[in-house]
Amino acid sequence: MPPYNILTYGWWIFLVMVGVFIALAFWRRQPIGISLMFGAIAGGLMSSLQGQGLHPRHLVEGAFTYFDPMLIIFTAMFFMRVIEENGALKSLANLIIEKLGRKPLLLTVVITFFIMFPAMLTGITTTSVLTTGALIAPILITLGMPRVTTGAMIALISIMGMFAPPINLLAMLIGQGVDLPYIGFAGPLAFAAFPLALVAAFTLGYPFLRKANPQSPPSEKPGYRLSRLILYLPLLVVVVLMAAVRLFPGTIPDIGVPLIFTIGGITGLFCGRKVSMLKAAYRALMTGLPVLGLLAGIGMFLQVMTFTGVRGLLVVTVLSLPISLTYLGLFISLPVFGGISAFASAMVFGIPFLLSLLGLNEIVVCSGIALLAGLGDVMLPSAIEARFAAQISGVKNYLLIVRKCFPFVIGFGLFAIGMIHWANELAFLVP
């Protein structure tokens, strides 16, 4: 048997894995997670031709690689489902319009943070688009904003919500691949997420909100303020618990993000409209299942890449690139592959690029890479968030939203490259 040469045969394994994945995901229209799993199996079987073989334990271990993020996703989706069904989210949207409808500048800022909020807590863009985005879209259209502009604005702000602290799953996954703990990311993530979200909001939304003439807010009924205070109690519980752990480290035990979301969700069961815990949990699981399956598939894919040596091949290849080509590769490969899956893009390409830039501040670089990967959510071929944004804003052709978002993808991508290039100068953002 000829000796195993990873410099040549490794590329064939990688091409087979990617080819099987693309064929299943876009030709056979299979779920991304399932396609990644079969791509991993194909790579393992091909490696067996060189005598390595694939033990089933690699697939099992890979599927549980990201068990912690999976718990965060499920519990966060449960919490969001509860506060949506008990009326808290709708009440908050109405309150924003009632109080700020005639203050367009402040209204634009508050709407931005309102849309971002679910993705900030879950690390998933879709939660913002389909919850707060779906609630605010009809209001924005009523205020005179075109449907395409509404969809593009919600999609871009939701991506920035996914990127913002406290939960950035992309940065978590990249960091986990290089043993970089998710500590100290709040500053770099906030430095990019909030200004870029406001840029999208003021560029797309403010010109229309400034000309809007909303109706006078309805008068409040007796007990109105008290009932709203009770309704917002679950939100307050989650915010206080998350803040307390970070403001008083060592004094207050860190009970973990999944438990915080669980406590907030259970609190919401007793506030506002009656909500069935089992039904809310089931709906949360069904909503988050595609992402949970995606993470399991990514884990298998990367486990086989590591086992066969393909991951090392990618790292060595990226390390050998001159810095100019490294930046160009970052700018092109991460958003483009993110058009298939932002999570897969972060894991497959983000980790090698982070390793190639170890001379710079790792946390700032990891944040910039996560931003580039996240922009893929509005890129073809899948453009998943553009599709959802088109659905909630009543746009028949989602490609109109993709086109509207594209200049922002270019601009935000250049901002991310700037963060990476000047990572050491931005190290002051890391506590």
3 state SS of 249: strand
Token couple for 224: 């109105």
Rounded to an integer, what distance in angstroms lies between the CA atom of residue 410 and that of residue 403? Answer: 12
Give me the residue label for tokens 């009809």: 138
221-240 burial, b at 16+ Cβ within 10 Å, e below that, comes to: eeeeeeebeebbbbbebbee
The contacts found for 243-251 with CB under 8 angstroms, 24 or more apart, are 246/166, 246/186
pLDDT at 428 over 90: yes
Highest mean pLDDT among 130-144, 228-242, 365-379: 365-379
Give the rounded percent of residues in the chain with a pLDDT score beyond 90.
Answer: 34
Is residue 5 predicted with pLDDT exceeding 60?
Answer: no
Which residue carries 């060592």 as its tokens? 250
Q: Which of 119-128, 134-143, 211-220, 388-397 has the lowest mean pLDDT?
A: 211-220
CA distance 383 to 151: 13
Q: What is the pLDDT of residue 196?
A: 97
Average of per-residue pLDDT values in the chain: 85
Q: Is the dihedral of CA 199, 346, 23, 128 positive or negative?
A: negative
User: Which amino acid would we find at residue 347?
Assistant: M
Residues 272-319 pLDDT 10s: 888 999 999 999 888 778 778 877 888 888 888 888 888 777 777 777
List strand residue ranges (DSSP E) for 126-240, in order.
Answer: none
Q: How far is CA 175 from the centre of its chain?
A: 15
Residue burial 317-354, b: 16+ Cβ < 10 Å; e: rest? ebeeeeeeebbebbbebbbbbbbbbbbbbbbbbbbbbb
Asked if residues 242 and 166 have their Cβ atoms less than 8 Å apart, the reply is yes
User: Could you give the CA distance from residue 330 to residue 336 in angstroms, rounded to a whole number?
Assistant: 10
> CA-to-CA distance for 343 and 300, rounded, in angstroms?
13
pLDDT of residue 266: 94
Distances (CA, A) of 99 to 92, 105, 113, 140, 247: 11, 13, 15, 15, 31
- Point out which residues pair with 249 in neighbouring strands: 252
Per-residue pLDDT band at 215 (split at 50, 70, 90) = low
Among 174, 192, 219, 185, smallest CA distance to 350 is for: 174
Peptide bond into 381 cis (omega under 30): yes
Q: Where are the domains of the chain?
A: 55-429
User: d(Cα 291, Cα 66) in Å, to the nearest integer?
Assistant: 11
Q: In the structure encoding, which two tokens stand for residue 36, read together?
A: 């990644």
> What sign results for the dihedral spanned by CA atoms 20, 168, 119, 264?
positive
Average pLDDT over residues 59-86: 85
Euclidean distance between CA atoms 263 and 260, whole angstroms: 5
Residue-wise pLDDT for 148-191, tens only, equals: 999 999 999 999 999 999 889 899 989 988 889 998 999 999 99
pLDDT grade for 214, boundaries at 50, 70 and 90: low
Q: What's residue 168's pLDDT?
A: 93
For 173, the token pair is 């996954």
